[in-house]
């Protein structure tokens, strides 16, 4: 068996990527994760081009290790953001929420490693055909925008692994070393972790949102707004209004009106917990404290190692004898 | 580390339980799985008491190994079914879809091992308080009836494991040795597998339904009828009618009318693929052929063993060095 392809591809120690999340992933978080041996990723979606340029520059100053940037392909400012990314020293570009066909070649020509986030094996094959270097297979339990098939990480990862020859990162529902090992048993060669890093010291999430994530229990998130773009949110006053509108048969236009503009910023960055959109994964129920990002990486890798020792113990598989 | 608690509890070789499924789990299937080293389970829900008694007797004649029966607690005929179970030689009783508080003591007093199926850590704690011996933690991706929280197996299993001290079986999304190992990395001590055994030779599913399961691809199932009891079904003409009614704002009474009676039998047992309810999990997309049950058990355990060897290879964790 050769070394892990994700570690080789990114030039990192641990096959653990911190998701580049809207409103939560500034240079401080990305640099801390990269310095801890994972791959830190800046979330471009919530940044004006000049802000993005500053974050990329500061991240480069704060770490000599590889790091990445996440660029959703569905926003209007994308040309300016692409120009910023191409002129910055950021080796890995994650694209999501759109088709990679139009942009992958340009990033590849500029020497960048390109990874696309997918919610189905069908999209994974398209991403492979577009020339990406790896895919993130993100399941139904993940926070934020999500696929229409509602395929869970446990079902999605094996489907994607058997459909492409690229290395696959698993995402959605992963916040611990046990879940990281489970994902790798399914054939993923690494993981992308989002929610857990929302609740990090270096995250730019509002402290009240971090506290709400820590307080979240089972059943506290729901995949919503399926008539627009499905998004997993913490339940709050806003989400209750969405559910009421939906069960009264509200159409797309009404839901867009209800959503309005800037709700993600309001909720996640400004801490308006009642009226904002609070994007987080189901795994929030397992997140019990806010830690420094380096501590999160260390804790996950320690649990990964311990769990692996358990599986390697001959007692574990006495039933195979 | 002691031996696997699920193997000890049931007196079986492999910690692999075949789910007792409505219309699909006759004595032939249960006996084949038990004879192959797992725990076979008869599905009582679709059987009249006399039929159930016959299946339990024939299963006992066909294997000298332990086997079980699954009894959903929400059907009308339950008193007669309980009487049949108590007078039969069936050592393990799985209860589901209801509260175990009222029935566990009676089965325990009769010397039976009792397992309850749950979709949340909250229900797992209730089952533990009711005195069950183990719980099945069944996630959103599972076929058939499902929880309202929509928690996926990857998120549910760790939540349940940390909430009870009982051994936990993982269910939902598991059809392969890789997924079985993943579930055990999450802390489950065994798995319950349903969909894969629908597509077994010994299953009483209609051959056309088995063929449809084999043909199913990603996104072909959906959790539906959430205003009644959420159930995961293959998409077909009937499910399209349900979706149309739901998005037009149909209420509970209208949905009950649309559902009518006997649709599960029609679809799964009689093979009416357009008008029947076709209960199956998301993992159907990974099921590629109909095999004898013993072949399924052997294939899963071989892949489990191989995947474990991969994780035990020092190359796998070179990055931990």
User: What is residue A2's predicted lDDT score, i.e. its pLDDT?
Assistant: 56
Residues A20/A47, Cβ–Cβ less than 8 Å: no
Which chain B residues are closer than 8 Å to A13 by Cβ?
319
- In CATH terms, the superfamily for domain B5-204+291-320 is Aldolase class I (3.20.20.70)
Please write the tens of the pLDDT for every residue from B77-130.
Answer: 799 999 999 999 999 999 998 889 889 999 999 999 999 999 999 999 999 999
If you count DSSP H runs as helices and E runs as strands, how many of each does chain A have, helices first? 14, 11
Phi, psi of A95 (to 5 degrees): -110, 150
Please write the tens of the pLDDT for every residue from A151-209.
Answer: 999 999 999 999 999 999 999 999 999 999 999 999 999 999 999 999 999 999 999 99
A22/chain B closest Cα distance in angstroms:
23
Given a cut of 70, is residue A24 above it in pLDDT? yes
Point out the residue among A120, A139, A286 whose CB comes nearest to the CB of B152: A139
User: What is residue B248's predicted lDDT score, i.e. its pLDDT?
Assistant: 83
Q: What ipTM goes with this model? A: 0.97
Whether pTM exceeds 0.80? yes
Please write the tens of the pLDDT for every residue from B197-212.
Answer: 999 999 999 999 999 9
User: What is residue A1's predicted lDDT score, i.e. its pLDDT?
Assistant: 43
Q: Which helix (H) or strand (E) holds B85?
A: helix B78-87
Partner-chain contact A219 B120, CB within 8 Å? yes
CA distance B26 to B188: 27
- Can you give the residue ranges of every domain in chain B? 5-204+291-320, 217-282
Residues B111/B92, Cβ–Cβ less than 8 Å: no
pLDDT band of residue A76 (cuts 50, 70, 90) is: confident
Residues B63/B29, Cβ–Cβ less than 8 Å: no
Mean per-residue pLDDT for B23-28? 98
Q: Which residue of B has its CA nearest to A321?
A: B13
Residues B100/B116, Cβ–Cβ less than 8 Å: yes
Partner-chain contact A3 B319, CB within 8 Å? yes
User: What is residue B318's predicted lDDT score, i.e. its pLDDT?
Assistant: 87
User: What is residue B35's predicted lDDT score, i.e. its pLDDT?
Assistant: 98
Phi, psi of B292 (to 5 degrees): -60, 145
User: What is residue A169's predicted lDDT score, i.e. its pLDDT?
Assistant: 98
Given a cut of 50, is residue A13 above it in pLDDT? yes
- Alpha helices (H) in chain A, listed in sequence order: 5-10, 27-35, 49-62, 78-87, 104-109, 121-130, 153-161, 177-185, 195-198, 207-215, 237-247, 252-259, 263-264, 293-312
CA distance A184 to A154: 11
Q: Among A122-126, A233-237, A312-316, B158-162, where is mean pLDDT lowest?
A: A312-316
CA B190 → CA A172, A246, A320, B178, distances in Å? 23, 39, 13, 13
Please write the tens of the pLDDT for every residue from A260-289.
Answer: 999 999 999 999 999 999 999 999 999 999
Domain A11-204+291-320 has CATH 3.20.20.70: yes
Q: Most confidently modeled of A132-141, A237-246, A304-313?
A: A132-141
Mean pLDDT of chain B: 96
| CB neighbour class for B310 (10 Å; exposed up to 12, middle 13-18, buried from 19) | middle
Partner-chain contact B174 A154, CB within 8 Å? yes
Write the DSSP string, A206-266: -HHHHHHHHH--TT-EEEE-TTSS-EEEE-SHHHHHHHHHHHTT--HHHHHHHH-SSHHII
Partner-chain contact B120 A301, CB within 8 Å? no
Partner-chain contact A319 B13, CB within 8 Å? yes
Mean per-residue pLDDT for B284-302? 98
């Amino acid at each position: 068996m050769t070394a892990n392809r994700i570690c080789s591809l990114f030039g990192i120690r641990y096959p653990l990527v911190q998701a580049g999340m809207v409103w939560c992933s500034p240079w401080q978080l990305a640099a801390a994760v990269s310095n801890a041996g994972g791959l830190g990723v800046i979330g471009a979606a919530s940044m004006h081009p000049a802000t993005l340029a500053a974050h990329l520059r500061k991240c480069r100053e704060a770490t000599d290790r590889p790091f990445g940037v996440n660029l959703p392909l569905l926003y209007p400012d994308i040309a300016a953001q692409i120009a910023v990314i191409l002129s910055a020293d950021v080796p890995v570009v994650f694209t999501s929420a759109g088709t990679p066909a139009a942009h992958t070649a340009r990033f590849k020509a500029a020497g960048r490693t390109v990874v696309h986030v997918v919610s189905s094996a069908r999209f994974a094959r398209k991403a492979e055909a577009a020339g990406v270097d790896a895919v993130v297979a993100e399941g139904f339990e993940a926070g934020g925008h999500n696929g229409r098939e509602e395929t869970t990480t446990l079902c999605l990862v094996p489907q994607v692994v058997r459909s492409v020859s690229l290395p696959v990162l698993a995402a959605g529902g992963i916040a611990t070393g046990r879940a990281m090992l489970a994902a790798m048993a399914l054939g993923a060669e690494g993981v992308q972790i989002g929610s857990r890093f929302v609740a990090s010291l270096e995250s730019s999430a509002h402290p009240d949102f971090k506290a709400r994530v820590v307080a979240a229990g089972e059943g506290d998130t729901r995949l919503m707004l399926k008539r627009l773009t499905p998004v997993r949110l913490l339940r709050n006053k806003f989400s209750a209004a969405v559910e009421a509108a939906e069960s009264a048969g509200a159409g797309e236009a009404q839901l867009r009106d209800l959503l309005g503009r800037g709700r993600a910023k309001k909720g996640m960055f400004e801490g308006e917990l009642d009226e904002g959109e609070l994007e987080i994964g189901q795994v929030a129920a397992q997140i019990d404290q806010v830690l420094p990002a380096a501590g999160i990486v260390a804790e996950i890798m320690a649990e990964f190692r311990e769990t692996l020792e358990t599986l390697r113990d001959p007692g574990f598989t006495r039933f195979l004898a």
